[in-house]
Amino acid sequence: MALSVLAHFSPGEKVTEFLAPYTDWLDIRYCEEDDDDTFYRELPDADVIWHVLRPISGADLQKARRLRLVNKLGAGVNTVDVDTATRLGVAVANMPGANAASVAEGAVLLMLAALRRLLELDRATREGRGWPADPSLGETVRDIGGCTVGLVGYGNIAKRVERIVVAMGTPPSAVLHTSTRDDGHPGWRPLPDLLAASDIVSLHLPLTDRSLGLLDATALARMKPEAVLVNTSRGPIVDEIALTEALRAGRLAAAGLDVFATEPVAPDNPLLSLANVVLTPHVTWYTVDTMRRYLTHAVDNCRRLHEGQPLLHVVNTVDGQTH
């Protein structure tokens, strides 16, 4: 009997081609994340959900009477009601490290775009204002190799960012990081010290009760006025009102943001109107290469479920065990 999978995203041609060899035992139904009519129609018959970003609530899980596995395409499971899933006997799994390469490159892309005033220069060139060059460029834009880079969180993605910026010329001694405790690695600093010392601060930590609002007005005030903040982790880690005020007042030079407190981001969010902010819609992870890794993991866990084998990367305890 085929395993019924509700894939909560809209597939491209490469996705369907990759999955075609498995359709003899996987019955995959696709649903765009904003299509609740299809989601709730398919949900009761799903054995597995391939989950991306649209939150899965406890009420959703209770409607999924056959559900056995929610497999997050990514690492963060803050968008799944894990407690309810556990109570209902539904395994919740993630894919740690699968998107690390793509998100790390995306973070560095945002660093460069903000640091080098890319969008401003693009607009000036298109409007015929590029020549003569703005004399402030030589006093404001920086090389990554000349910056102290502070990484908040030190998991797979942050370590890849570290390798990239070192390859671009940043001395290893100028790459700082913080985590929940001193991990013994060179460059560890308490968060207040890291914020005060860094020219670029890049966030790479999950959204938890502890990290919610971590970068508030007090934390932002510790940063250098010429510093750049990059966030490719989760929007609510940053107090967006405080960030907007700091950017407007010149207490922070620029920001590169892939994530927001509310997603999709509201059109009246004041961050969208600031010239010193570079924005992308939570897509630093979204590449052909990451999707291939996600689908490989997802199919493997479905195969394990289908054959009664232990699942990989389960984050909760179901039936007395983690898989």
Average pLDDT over residues 187-198: 97
Active site residues: 234, 263, 282
Q: Where are the alpha helices (DSSP H) in the chain?
A: 13-19, 36-42, 58-63, 82-87, 100-115, 118-126, 137-140, 156-167, 191-197, 217-221, 240-249, 288-307
Q: Is the pLDDT of residue 149 over 90?
A: yes
The mean pLDDT value for 199-227 works out to: 97
Query: Is residue 291 domain-shared with residue 230, that is, in the same domain?
Result: no
Structure tokens at 161: 């960012």
Q: Domain check: are 294 and 219 in the same one? A: no
Mean pLDDT value of segment 204-224? 96
CATH number of the domain within which 61 lies: 3.40.50.720
Residue 315 lies in a domain: no
**Per-residue CA distances from 116 to 195, 200, 278, 280 (Å):** 20, 12, 11, 17
Between CA 179 and CA 157 the distance in angstroms is: 13
- Flag whether 163 is in a domain: yes
Which is more confident, 181 or 244?
244
**Judgement on whether residues 239 and 181 belong to the same structural domain of the protein:** yes
User: Is there a single domain that holds both residue 78 and residue 130?
Assistant: no
Asked whether residue 313 is assigned to any structural domain, the reply reads: no
119 and 252 co-located in one domain: yes
Question: What pLDDT is recorded for position 94?
Answer: 97
Q: For residue 117, what are the CA distances in angstroms to 13, 125, 139, 172?
A: 35, 12, 12, 25
In a shared domain, residues 60 and 128? no
Q: Which amino acid is at 222?
A: R
Please write the tens of the pLDDT for every residue from 71-90. Answer: 999 998 999 999 999 999 99
* DSSP three-state, residue 212: coil
Domain assignment present for 320: no
- The SS3 assignment for 320 reads coil
In this predicted model, what pLDDT tens digit does every residue of 271-282 receive, in sequence order? 999 999 999 999
Query: Of 32, 11, 40, which is closest to residue 23 (Cα–Cα)?
Result: 11
- Please indicate, yes or no, whether residues 114 and 187 belong to a single structural domain of this protein: yes
Q: Please state, in angstroms and rounded to a whole number, the distance separating the CA atoms of residues 149 and 65.
A: 48
321 pLDDT band, cuts 50/70/90, is low
Residues 61 and 90 both lie in one domain: yes
Q: Is 291 within a domain?
A: yes
* Residue 321 resides in a domain: no
pLDDT at 22 over 60: yes
* DSSP string covering 69-80: EEEESSS--TTB
Number of domains the chain contains: 2
Based on the fold, state whether residues 90 and 105 are members of the same structural domain. Answer: no
In a domain, 239, yes or no: yes
> How would you classify residue 280: left for phi > 0, otherwise alpha for psi between -120 and 50, otherwise beta?
beta
Are residues 189 and 271 both part of a single domain?
yes
Q: What is the pTM of this model?
A: 0.90
Label residue 322 by pLDDT band (50, 70, 90): low
Asked if 255 and 301 sit in the same domain, the reply is no
Are residues 172 and 28 located together in one domain of the fold?
A: no
90, two tokens: 């539904």
Mean pLDDT of 112-139: 94
Establish how many alpha carbons lie within 13 A of residue 149's alpha carbon, considering only the half-sphere containing its beta carbon: 34
Give the residue numbers spanning the domain of 268.
99-279
- pLDDT bucket at 319, cuts 50 / 70 / 90: confident
Say if 250 falls within a structural domain.
Answer: yes
